[in-house]
Structure 1
Amino acid sequence: MTKTDDTQTFEQFRPDLLRLAYRMTGGQADAEDIVQDAWLRWHRTRTDDVRNARAWLSRTVARLAIDHLRKVKTRRETYVGPWLPEPVVTDVPVAHPPLPGDALEIAQDVSMALMMILETLKPEERAAFLLRAAFELPYAELATELGKSEDACRQMVSRARTRLRQNRPRFEATDQQHEDLLLAFAGAAQAGDTAALTNLMTPHAKLTSDGGGKVSAALRVIEGAANVASLVAHIAGTASALPGDIMPMRINGRPGFIVASKNAIDASYSIDVENGRIAAIYVMRNPDKLAHLLARSKPAE
């Protein structure tokens, strides 16, 4: 290939590589750095000897992501309060709910539900699952890349698929259902209406709030509709539960919203839905993880 061809080939696969790196690390900036590093390695490689560019690039990104996660392990272990992935803005609606086992859908899925499940896996397990499920990498190549036996790779992928089936929302909602529930939640939260908040959620709903130790946020996951409603209503009684302007935005492939003031974003909100009710609420308050959303929240000049 010529260098022009190399560049065109890389750019063709860049979106998938960014999604892979993001799902491995949970950070947009980290994903961009990893993909840039992969590009530099691709640029220095004799690409005429590469039979499958997509496979080569995905394996490279996965290896770099595993190295990154090993380096930040201590930082993750000492993180203050619950950890959530950086919210990412996704402008293109999902055509239909993600289907476990469907390589195309898994390759495009960056939903909070999937991200939270991936976070429970070890880096090698995460890489094995994504490379197999999304990039359809043969087990023999997985074994070589991860330094494991083929049987071990099959077991890792199987365990990840089982966890995915067990923990993903059982009944996906349409975009309209998401939007309706979000608007109802915002209204009830601002009013401090405990009964309305409770009715919007499944009995075992969870609220996860990530402040990173830099702003106020719950230091543990709040479980149970009544407990979540009480917390949100309490916040509304002491200050505005949703200060600033509420701006709808597609977050991680689903309708969500941010709460923005003139020069900052206070929080982003997204949800999982089961049986027409809110099953999980994800509140990002860590300013470091919200900074990249600020430009998206400003009108074009």
Structure 2
Amino acid sequence: MDQDLPTWDDTRAADVFNEHRRLLTSVAYRVLGRWSDAEDVVQDAWLRWSGSDYARIEDPKAFLVTVTTRLAIDQLRKVQTRKESYVGPWLPEPVLTRDGADSSPDAADRVVLDDTVSLAMLLVMETLSPLERAVFVLREAFDYSFAEIAAMLDRTEPAVRQLLVRARNHVHEKRPRYPLDDAKRQSIADRFLAACVGGDVRPLLELLSPEVTLVADGGGVVTAARRPVEGQDHVARFLLGIVDKYAKFMQEGADLRIEVVAGGVNGSPAIVAFLDGKVLYVYTLDLDEDGRIRAVFGMANPEKLEGVRALEV
């Protein structure tokens, strides 16, 4: 019987890990909301895996997801402590959820294209405890059974069910929905950028929900609004002020361009500003059921832009 078991070596171990790397990163990112921390967690998972007795592991995928989830929970507790001293509003790190050259993601990419990866949803999940968040992610985003989650988190099934009920109750009312298809969202993003660049507040107001909010994350590293900007008029004029500032940079000879990345950032349409080919700012649009913009999330902190660096040329 033992002769029929596959043999393990470093190459096979690396192949197995890489086969599941996308899944592990997706789990870690949802639990943490930080791409850089998610990559660190996956690297730590690799170290745990490379030091394991492979022959004793019956299900490598389950083992890797378990290790990654537990490491992410531990890291999340540390991140929550760091947030207490964070300068200005805190936003999850934006991340590309599609290959920019392909608007039709293949099956391997679908793991990151549900609504639990949107910035709006990640912010809602910030209200959960680390365990609640992990249970919610594993169940809602990856459809693991209660028995599987219980084994991963070393909890009983009733305890896992209770954690999920609490998590769902927290997010149910605030959970964002995305009924619009990609073509409509692309159109809205194009119109949004055109309205901003055009400098006329009226078409911009037509695109914004009356209750629209703009949240910018500069982390104290770069200039950004220290408080959310609320209301149609305030948000519209704030956006036009930013575009006017960009226009002045360009007049002074700066290599600055602004482009729409439809559906490519956290599953939502986004506007990206580049300076000298490098990502300067990412604005992600959160849309309501009528296609009006109910939130603009702006990421300027360069330390939190690693997940979109692939856009750079």
- TM-score norm. by structure 1 comes to 0.84
Query: Is 1:256 the counterpart of 2:262 in the alignment?
Result: no
After TM superposition, the structure 1 stretch with the greater mean CA deviation from structure 2, 163-172 or 127-136, is 163-172
Q: 1:238-289 CA deviation, whole Å, 9 max, x = no partner?
A: 6649972013332123332310121543211111222121122111111212
1:129 to 111, 136, 145: 136
Deviation at 1:143, TM superposition (A): 3.8
CA distance in 2, matches of 1:239, 1:14: 38
2:296 to 278, 281, 301: 281
Letter of the aligned partner of 1:251 in structure 2? V
Over 3 Å counting, the alpha-carbon distance change for 1:136 and 1:295 in structure 2 is closer
Structure 2 unmatched ranges of 5 or more? 1-6, 251-255
Query: Is 1:245 the counterpart of 2:260 in the alignment?
Result: no
- Secondary structure at the counterpart of residue 85 of structure 1: coil
Query: Is 1:161 the counterpart of 2:176 in the alignment?
Result: no
Deviation at 1:196, TM superposition (A): 2.0
> 2:120 touches 2:286 (CA, 8 Å); kept in 1?
yes
Query: Is 1:207 the counterpart of 2:221 in the alignment?
Result: no
Q: 1:196-226 CA deviation, whole Å, 9 max, x = no partner?
A: 2221022222211111111221222223323
The residue number in structure 2 matching 1:67 is 74
- Secondary structure at the counterpart of residue 91 of structure 1: coil
The residue number in structure 1 matching 2:185 is 178
Letter of the aligned partner of 1:296 in structure 2? L
CA distance in 2, matches of 1:95, 1:158: 34
Query: Is 1:41 the counterpart of 2:41 in the alignment?
Result: no
CA distance in 2, matches of 1:229, 1:266: 20
- TM-score norm. by structure 2 comes to 0.81
After TM superposition, the structure 1 stretch with the greater mean CA deviation from structure 2, 11-20 or 136-145, is 136-145
CA distance in 2, matches of 1:241, 1:210: 22
Over 3 Å counting, the alpha-carbon distance change for 1:287 and 1:193 in structure 2 is same
* Percent identity over paired residues: 39
> 1:139 touches 1:153 (CA, 8 Å); kept in 2?
yes
Query: What pairs with 1:86-125 in structure 2 (closer than 5 Å)?
Result: 86-92=93-99, 108-109=113-114, 110-125=117-132
- Secondary structure at the counterpart of residue 304 of structure 2: helix
2:8 to 2, 5, 8: 2
CA distance in 2, matches of 1:296, 1:234: 25
Q: 1:91-139 CA deviation, whole Å, 9 max, x = no partner?
A: 247879xxxxxxx967643222332222222211111112223344443
Deviation at 1:63, TM superposition (A): 0.7
Greater C-alpha Rg: 2
Q: Please tell me the root mean square deviation across aligned C-alpha atoms, in Å.
A: 2.8
